[in-house]
Amino acid sequence: MGASTTLSAWRLQLALPSLASPRAVAGGLYNCVATALTFREREASMSLDLTPYGIYVTQVLRNASPAALYEEGVRHDDDQMTALGALATHSGSKTGRSPKDKRIVEEEASVQDIWWGDVNIKLNEHSFLTNRQRAIDYMNTRQRLYVVDGYAGWDPKYRLKIRVICARPYHALFMHNMLIRPKRKELAEFNEPDYVIYNAGEFPANVFTKDMTSKTSVELSFELREIVILGTEYAGEMKKGVFTVMNYLMPKRGVLSMHCSANEGPDGDVSLFFGLSGTGKTTLSADTRRRLIGDDEHCWTDEGVFNIEGGCYAKCIHLSSDKEPQIFQAIRFGTVLENTVVDPNTREVDFSSASITENTRASYPIEYISNAKIPCVGGHPKNIILLTCDAFGVLPPVSKLTPEQAMYHYLSGYTAKVAGTEVGVKEPEATFSACFGAAFLVWHPTKYAELLAEQMRKNDTHAWLVNTGWSGGAYGVGSRIKLAYTRAIIDAIHSGELAQSPTVEDPYFGLSVPLSCPGVPASVLQPASVWSDRDGYDATGRKLARLFVENFSKYAGQTAVGIQTGGPRVETVTA
């Protein structure tokens, strides 16, 4: 039966060469040449029998060391070891996530829980099983496969056992970094995983399969506890697939899952940083005076917060030792550099080049950050910082939020695009992403907002809105708020000084704006005072307020009346 399955998959691949990537076809032809793993390679890892999954490949490297995966990547996958010691690799034609190709299987046990729509698109079970078999058939054409067993969640009470089955060494090294690495005894007792990821990203989905709209598909079944990846080799799909699972399971247990970074001060005070791309979440949470709990995904329980991941996945376009010293120092042996440009002779990395993509990435274990807190857990947050990059230039650099305002802005998840970030963007464009991570939510956003409100109330947590965007005018007229000012604001939040400052109410959003902050000119704190065109400020303020109200209208009837009062002042919107 195994031989028949393998032969069928091989015939399918040869019959449909136009659907397979060049690497997939070349890899298939390479299977005709049998080579054996060396004794040293076998010693470097543990093998695993995959026949229970319908996979009959005998050369399986389980939880191979980074050194072994480097060798595999260089020998069999055209990867390069860089001058910095990191492994440079490419993700093929997909250099970012494919949110329009994400699917969740419609199943009786979860169908009433899921926030169906553009974020969570329904998939029928037959199509899922078809695609899973397609992935398995492809894997059966490979000479060798890689398995990574690891954990999601640093709190043992809530952690999940994740098994990744993949065909590329770089995918194995990536998940070795991003999952929490089990100790030798834990690995020996790992047994059956809670979730399995079949990553056959080199092989495409069949566009004639029901519910498929492209050759890419990232699918999740909560009932079967499986994720299937076809048609994309971008490693971030695995990371966010695990996060999506946690975003479903944790709220069922009364635990808030969050798309945020977290750090801890010398006195144990924890801060959470929420923010979309370009708002400074990674930069501001990387503070040498505070220990990093995690840079992207966390959960908040009755005991405190814990990081979901065992590593970091940092953007590295224009990375330098001056701008981001902690991240730059993490680029060393064991780190995966994804889609960066490398000099073929010197192996030096050109972090300034976007010739492959703007979305160049580095994946490394969290302990590569010198001041990381291991285990990655902390107490209840003292401060929550909602970051936005307001390109309209009307939001204050910092505002203290009431509980209602915190929920309103958490549900809104606002930032702005500026000219040059996307084709066709000529002027500031408001972007709203619920809970600062709508693409990864499973429940309706109000489920997460209610959990956040409850935790803030129980733990007397303060909330702040920090604008890292423009001041003195909109993009093209004003200027970006200096990073030194934003850092001074964050410092004042952590020291408690900002909470003691007198405030004045913002005219359009009703926010409490501090009148003073150490290290920041008082005029900068009040947006209207640094606009030369007061009429322009008023018009732009009303415009942005209307955009907030229009976006929040989709939550009408689904949120408490108090939360709705946390938005812009009604009279300013209708003026």
361 included as an active-site residue: yes
Looking at 277, 353, 501, 503, which residue is catalytic? 277
Looking at 176, 215, 240, 542, which residue is catalytic? 240
281 included as an active-site residue: yes
What is the largest distance, in Å, between two alpha-carbon atoms of the chain? 77
Looking at 282, 360, 433, 468, which residue is catalytic? 282
- The tokens for 222 are 């909560």
Looking at 77, 137, 296, 390, which residue is catalytic? 296
Report the C-alpha gap between 97 and 244 in whole angstroms. 13
Spell out a b/e string for 200-220, using b for 16 or more CB atoms within 10 Å of the CB, else e. bbbbbbbeebebbeebbbbbb
97 included as an active-site residue: yes
91 included as an active-site residue: no
Looking at 103, 176, 215, 259, which residue is catalytic? 259
414 φ/ψ angles, rounded to the nearest 5 degrees: -90, 140
Looking at 134, 142, 361, 417, which residue is catalytic? 361
Report the C-alpha gap between 101 and 297 in whole angstroms. 22
Residue type, 271: S
Report the C-alpha gap between 211 and 389 in whole angstroms. 36
Q: Are strands 160-166 and 195-200 parallel, antiparallel or unpaired?
A: parallel
Q: Prior bond to 375 cis, omega within 30?
A: yes
Q: Are strands 381-388 and 102-105 parallel, antiparallel or unpaired?
A: unpaired
82 included as an active-site residue: no
- The tokens for 495 are 């020291």
282 included as an active-site residue: yes
382 included as an active-site residue: no
Residue type, 37: L
Spell out a b/e string for 116-134, using b for 16 or more CB atoms within 10 Å of the CB, else e. eeebbbebeeebbebbbeb
Looking at 132, 134, 281, 380, which residue is catalytic? 281
Looking at 62, 90, 94, 97, which residue is catalytic? 97
277 included as an active-site residue: yes
Catalytic residues: 97, 240, 259, 277, 281-282, 296, 361
